[in-house]
Amino acid sequence: MNKLTYSYRGPLPLGSVVAHYCGAAGLTTYKEGPTWLLVGEEQATQYSLAVYENGTLQATFTGSLTNEGRLHIGGQLLRLLRTHQGLAPLGDWGTLVGVRPTKLFHKLWDQLGSAEAAIERLRTQYEVTEPKLALLAQVAGLQRPYVAPSADSDRLVSVYGGIPFCQTHCTYCSFPYGLLQDYKRVPQFVEAFVADSEHLQSLLATYHLQLATLYVGGGTPTSLGEADFETVTTALAKLLAYSRTAKALEFTVEAGRPDSVTPYKLQTMARQGVSRISINPQSMQDSILKAIGRGHTAQAIKDLYEYVRLHTPFQVNMDFIAGLPYQQEVHMIENMDYVCQAMPENVTIHTLALKRGSPLYEGVGREAMPEEKAVQAMVAYCKERLEAAGYVPYYVYRQQYMTSQTENIGYTLPGHECEYNIRIMEERQSILSVGPGSSSKWMRAPEYRQLQQHMPKDVSVYIDTLDTLLGKRSQLCKQFWEG
Ligand SMILES: C[S@@+](CC[C@H](N)C(=O)[O-])C[C@H]1O[C@@H](n2cnc3c(N)ncnc32)[C@H](O)[C@@H]1O
Ligand code: SF4
């Protein structure tokens, strides 16, 4: 039995708060004999939460019947769980849990009227430490023009296209789809994707929507063959006719793996108006790339980047992960040496998360994962190097189920931030989506998240039920924009 498991019984509102705090302490749910049993109760004037460890009552926490009361209980629970794990009662993020800390920052900014007041609230109520407060203030300040409430933003949307294929499965990734070469119905997928995109185009016209940004991710969109890649990007590029300005719109395509990119696919993207691509090294050592199943070399990254700089107008993002099997601090120094010489417009530093469903989670290379302290040092080193080279952080998110106090940070050279990444992270603009596994979210101030639709992850289910899915999307648009 896993030591870090819990089970909750009790009212739902308290349960969802408990789930967040247990996640922040690295606990996962487990029904059969969990280490921690948590029993919640809604009484006349308060909630109570009884906390049992292996059947022995450790504490009972109480809080008022409000969100604040629930958060108070959550904070107490986090302290107890961390202490029992031999950790300091609170880490750098205090009692602030959840994957999007800047989302709360913006909400507090709206409610309290200033960034300073938001900082003060996070300091006193959530006990967030000064370095994290400084990071949040910097990121939220840069994001604010995109997320401040405004009257004319209701019909401004972003679009996400999801291509559900890769050529190999990286060991750390919980990618839920099949490999391209194993899937027998790629032509039907392409047909369905185009129909999905055309349907979305008709919705943009019907509801007089304006496009803010366009983003194609996956999987690996460039894993498609050249003709199929051209067909899907051409279908999506038609949406650019609904751009909010006459200026070229931000249009990103993830071309993460150099082994999936050809000059023809790059020319196709340039023709279709793509403005930004992602080329993702993860780490720049062949032995590590091989161990994580990437199927490309560090030299292939360098060659592709050079080619892109010479032959295309694209802005470039590069993703890295700290904490990969066999990775040491010296490797991260090499990675940052390369980045600071290449100077892509955006760099994203992730901390490795053990994701259920990934080969790593099942044990492949797990014994070679570096210690948490070494990972923290790598993340800190990246921050130092990137900031010294002129990069600034522009979005930040945390992983669920991580006891470590690191976070994932997107850095940008000033003025080159990816607007879509801010939009998806802060959830203040409707994002409509095309493709299996993608999600549409209809959002409006002041509550923001109002309606949502998730496309099925199974590509065949997506193909076979597309008509019903598109009918549902039409209905949700009508409900949202015609009330
Ligand atoms: C959804 S993935 C898609 C990127 C693209 N397919 C590629 O591999 O180049 C986006 C990024 O998330 C990061 N990532 C994926 N799985 C991760 C994990 N388990 N822990 C930390 N970062 C992860 C990687 O840096 C990856 O480039
Ligand atoms: S990291 Fe990217 S290329 Fe690797 S399996 Fe995940 S989505 Fe595919």
pLDDT, tens only, 410-462: 999 999 999 999 999 999 999 999 999 999 999 998 888 789 999 999 999 99
> Over 50: is that where the pLDDT of 347 sits?
yes
pLDDT of residue 70: 96
CATH number of the domain within which 195 lies = 3.80.30.20
Same domain for 285 and 404: yes
In a domain, 90, yes or no: no
Same domain for 114 and 176: no
Same domain for 119 and 226: no
pLDDT, tens only, 241-257: 999 887 889 999 999 99
> Over 70: is that where the pLDDT of 350 sits?
yes
Q: In the β-sheet with 448-454, what is the strand arrangement from edge to edge?
A: 392-397, 408-412, 346-351, 315-322, 276-278, 250-254, 210-218, 156-163, 430-434, 439-444, 448-454
Q: Is the CB of 171 under 6 A from ligand 1?
A: no
Tell me which DSSP letter residue 262 carries: -
CATH number of the domain within which 47 lies = 3.30.160.150
Residue 149, Cα to own-chain centre: how many angstroms?
22
Hey, what amino acid is at 298? A
Q: How far is the CA of 4 from the centre of ligand 1 (A)?
A: 25
In a domain, 476, yes or no: no
Q: How far is the CA of 449 from the centre of ligand 1 (A)?
A: 25
Q: How far is the CA of 34 from the centre of ligand 1 (A)?
A: 31
Same domain for 228 and 184: yes
Say which residue, 350 or 445, is predicted with more confidence.
Answer: 350
Mean pLDDT confidence for 142-166: 91
Same domain for 230 and 113: no
Count of domains forming the chain: 3
Q: Is the CB of 219 under 6 A from ligand 2?
A: yes
Which range is least confidently modeled, 183-187, 238-242, 404-408, 435-439?
Answer: 404-408
Q: Which atom of ligand 2 is nearest to the CA of 174?
A: 6
The pLDDT-based confidence of 1 (bands split at 50, 70, 90) is very low
Mean pLDDT confidence for 305-309: 98
pLDDT, tens only, 42-100: 999 999 999 999 999 999 999 999 999 999 999 999 999 999 988 899 989 999 988 89
Give the DSSP per-residue string, 90-120: SBTTBT--SS-HHHHHHHHHHHHSSHHHHHH
Q: Is the CB of 319 under 6 A from ligand 1?
A: yes
Same domain for 367 and 267: yes
Closest CA to 327 of 295, 374, 386: 374
Q: How far is the CA of 176 from the centre of ligand 1 (A)?
A: 13
Say which residue, 334 or 25, is predicted with more confidence.
Answer: 334
Q: Is the CB of 355 under 6 A from ligand 2?
A: no
In a domain, 49, yes or no: yes
- Which residues in 126-209 belong to E strands, given as ranges? 156-163
Same domain for 108 and 70: no
The pLDDT-based confidence of 401 (bands split at 50, 70, 90) is low
399 in Cβ contact with 350 (< 8 Å): no
Closest CA to 77 of 89, 92, 88: 89
Same domain for 279 and 134: no
Same domain for 287 and 197: yes
**Environment class of 374 (CB within 10 Å of its CB; exposed 0-12, middle 13-18, buried 19+):** middle
Ligand 2 probe mutation, 175, 257, 260, most atoms within 8 A of CB: 175
In a domain, 92, yes or no: no
Same domain for 168 and 298: yes
Could you say which ligand is closest to the alpha carbon of residue 177? 2
Q: Is the CB of 353 under 6 A from ligand 1?
A: yes
Q: Is the CB of 360 under 6 A from ligand 2?
A: no
pLDDT of residue 4: 81
In a domain, 470, yes or no: no
In a domain, 299, yes or no: yes
Mean pLDDT confidence for 140-160: 90
> Over 80: is that where the pLDDT of 7 sits?
yes
pLDDT of residue 94: 92
77 in Cβ contact with 112 (< 8 Å): no
Mean pLDDT confidence for 390-411: 85
Q: Which domain holds residue 37?
A: 5-84
In a domain, 448, yes or no: no
Element spanning 136, H or E: helix 130-147
Portion of the chain with pLDDT greater than 70, in percent = 98
Q: Is the CB of 321 under 6 A from ligand 2?
A: no
Strand 46-53 with 56-64, pairing: antiparallel
pLDDT of residue 404: 64
pLDDT of residue 3: 64
CA nearest ligand 2 atom 7, residue: 219
Same domain for 172 and 63: no
Mean confidence (pLDDT) of the chain? 94
Distance CA 354, CA 138 (A): 29
In a domain, 145, yes or no: no
Hey, what amino acid is at 483? G
The pLDDT-based confidence of 403 (bands split at 50, 70, 90) is low
> Over 70: is that where the pLDDT of 209 sits?
yes
